[in-house]
Chain A
Amino acid sequence: MSVGSAFVTEKISDDKLTLSIGPQHPGAGHFRFTVTIEGDTIVDCVPDPGYVHRGAEKQTEYRTFLQSIPLLERSSLTDVTNIIMPFSMAAEELMGIQIPPRAQYLRMIMSENQRILSHLYWLGIQGIFLGHSTVFMWPLGDRELFIDLGQMIGGARITYSYAIPGGVRNDMPDNFKDRALKVFDYFESRLKDYEKIFFNNPLVLKRTQGVGVLPRAEAIRLGVVGQTLRASGVKSDTRIDEPYNFYKDINFEVPTYNSCDTWARCMVHLAEMRQSMNIMRQCLGKMPQGPVRVRLSPQQRAQAGEAYTRVEAARGALAFHIISDGTTRPYRVKISVPSFRNLIALSRLLIGSHVADMPAIYWSLDYWPVEADR
């Protein structure tokens, strides 16, 4: 079956209409998928990723480990630290070094900060896809406070290249802890407002409950990750299953819901925001003093071999597989991205649903086209 423009102009039958929800569409981001509708029901869906493919995996073969960091972090703009952290961890494993504990705590703090940023952006777009413009403006405004926190440590608003092989680049400033605690208290009171306007809004409940149901067995069989999996009742989180940094010393919960529908995915995002603040508070309390960076040469050689690391990014489990041949540049880098893993659920969930459910289901899977295309 052909995709793209040829698909939408061939005539299938008299009562079926093919729509190309393409890159130039306010409801799709930079990603195309074509749906075939009959009346008000979607009968077929063919996703067509690859619009923003920039060859990031190939480009890392021409750069050293340190120089690939600015390249890779721009693949996933809302989740910057989490996409370079497994790369740094795999590179450190290949170089045979161990980073100091304070660096690991700082990485955890930045990682949870990014998780909140990503979830707030997700919430904003989910609101606008359901027609609710206030839920678009509020989270993006509250996000500024967290971007400000990130900027205090990292030095830039979004892409800071912070977690490099060898540790982190700089220590946090002195006024960070008081400021962060104030921001958390404020944001927790704002989450109550969000619950009133979005998560308990009767019209939003009508549009998201019972919509896009992915049963538990199907979710496990398709291999989806992240919130999609947790909303289908499977308690799976890489921070608990394969702990890295110091997650085994932090008490936090992994929220799961059993209703497997779009509403459950929304509630999982909300609960995870609360858990992230919980984790950050504990990290700020437990951080030891000490160095934050291991001095490496810019042209550090990695030992020959393979390394595979997996972390819990904001959207799901993100994994890097690096094969090195003993030089300063990796031989092959393979990135396994949560958005691409969840794409298979999109076509399964859209078939048989109403046309009007399409934006709600599509965005609740938290698909980020730039990350999926790398």
Chain B
Amino acid sequence: MQYPDVQTQMAKYYTYDPKLGVANAGYKGRHILWLDKCTGCQLCSIACENISQAIEMVKVPSVIKPQNKKTLYPQVDYAKCVFCGLCVDACPFYALGMTEDFNLVSTSKKALVYSPEKLAIPPNVTRKKVEFKIENGEAFHD
């Protein structure tokens, strides 16, 4: 498999269900923030505080939602994030998930700090995805 042209098929979003207390299996890549659900409670930021301090709450005046009067939303600094997913496990409002987009290269450290609006955009993975197949005693990909 030639990586820069293709990538493997990954599992879907990694999300956490606070009612059941378990997460759903998925790939832990870039975060995705559902602005309709986030209340600005800062639990994700507190969870990340002693791990890598990658989440910071910022005020976003342009996004006005009924459940978030103070317009506080998390921003993620991907230069520090270790992609452990404990922030997703801490959110009680189904607002944070992790997608399968891991290609976050950029040429400046400022561009690695993703603002809440940027996190809300669903990922757009344009590479062709292949899946490993094992048949007749041989492993290959299509």
User: A and B touching (C-beta < 8 Å)?
Assistant: yes
- Residue positions of A touching B, CB distance < 8 A: 62-64, 66-67, 69-71, 144-145, 148, 151-153, 155-156, 159-161, 169-173, 182-183, 185-186, 189, 291-295, 298
**Residue pair B86, A67 in contact (C-beta under 8 Å):** yes
**Residue pair A298, B47 in contact (C-beta under 8 Å):** yes
Q: Which of B8, B21, B23, B137 contacts A189 (CB 8 A)?
A: B137
Q: Which of A62, A160, A170 contacts B22 (CB 8 A)?
A: A170
Complex Cα gap A171–B26 (Å): 10
Q: Which of B25, B84, B85 contacts A171 (CB 8 A)?
A: B25
Q: Which of B26, B46, B137 contacts A155 (CB 8 A)?
A: B26
A294 to chain B minimum Cβ distance, whole angstroms, is 8
- Residue positions of B touching A, CB distance < 8 A: 8, 10-11, 14, 21-28, 46-47, 50-52, 82-86, 89-90, 98, 132, 134, 137-139
**Residue pair B86, A155 in contact (C-beta under 8 Å):** no
A80 to chain B minimum Cβ distance, whole angstroms, is 12
> Which residues from A are CB-within-8-Å of B132?
144-145, 148
A292 to chain B minimum Cβ distance, whole angstroms, is 6
Q: Which of A62, A63, A70, A145 contacts B82 (CB 8 A)?
A: A70
Complex Cα gap A208–B14 (Å): 46
**Residue pair B8, A148 in contact (C-beta under 8 Å):** yes
Q: List 5 A-B contacts (CB under 8 A).
A: A64-B50, A155-B14, A169-B85, A171-B24, A292-B22
**Residue pair B84, A161 in contact (C-beta under 8 Å):** yes
> Which residues from B are CB-within-8-Å of A189?
137
**Residue pair A156, B28 in contact (C-beta under 8 Å):** yes
A284 to chain B minimum Cβ distance, whole angstroms, is 16
Look across to chain A and name the residue whose beta carbon is closest to the beta carbon of B49. A67
Q: Contacts A67-B51, A169-B22, A186-B139 given: A155-B27 contact, CB under 8 Å?
A: yes
**Residue pair B21, A295 in contact (C-beta under 8 Å):** yes
> Which residues from B are CB-within-8-Å of A291?
21-22
B23 to chain A minimum Cβ distance, whole angstroms, is 4
Q: Which of B10, B46, B47, B137 contacts A151 (CB 8 A)?
A: B10
> Which residues from B are CB-within-8-Å of A64?
50
Look across to chain A and name the residue whose beta carbon is closest to the beta carbon of B23. A170
Complex Cα gap A148–B51 (Å): 26
Look across to chain A and name the residue whose beta carbon is closest to the beta carbon of B82. A70
Q: Given A156-B28, A169-B22, output 19 extra A-B contacts at Cβ < 8 Å.
A: A62-B50, A64-B50, A67-B50, A70-B51, A70-B82, A70-B86, A155-B27, A159-B84, A160-B28, A169-B23, A170-B14, A170-B25, A173-B25, A182-B134, A185-B137, A189-B137, A293-B22, A294-B21, A298-B90
**Residue pair A153, B90 in contact (C-beta under 8 Å):** no
> Which residues from B are CB-within-8-Å of A69?
84, 86
> Which residues from A are CB-within-8-Å of B89?
169
Complex Cα gap A291–B21 (Å): 9
Look across to chain B and name the residue whose beta carbon is closest to the beta carbon of A166. B21
> Which residues from A are CB-within-8-Å of B28?
155-156, 160
**Residue pair B21, A161 in contact (C-beta under 8 Å):** no
Look across to chain B and name the residue whose beta carbon is closest to the beta carbon of A189. B137
Q: Which of A161, A173, A295, A298 contacts B11 (CB 8 A)?
A: A173
Complex Cα gap A161–B86 (Å): 9
> Which residues from B are CB-within-8-Å of A170?
14, 22-26
> Which residues from B are CB-within-8-Å of A67?
47, 50-51, 86
Complex Cα gap A173–B14 (Å): 12
Complex Cα gap A151–B132 (Å): 13
> Which residues from A are CB-within-8-Å of B50?
62-64, 67
Q: Which of B86, B137, B138 contacts A66 (CB 8 A)?
A: B86
B126 to chain A minimum Cβ distance, whole angstroms, is 21
Look across to chain B and name the residue whose beta carbon is closest to the beta carbon of A161. B84
> Which residues from A are CB-within-8-Å of B22?
169-171, 291-293
Look across to chain A and name the residue whose beta carbon is closest to the beta carbon of B138. A186
**Residue pair B134, A155 in contact (C-beta under 8 Å):** no
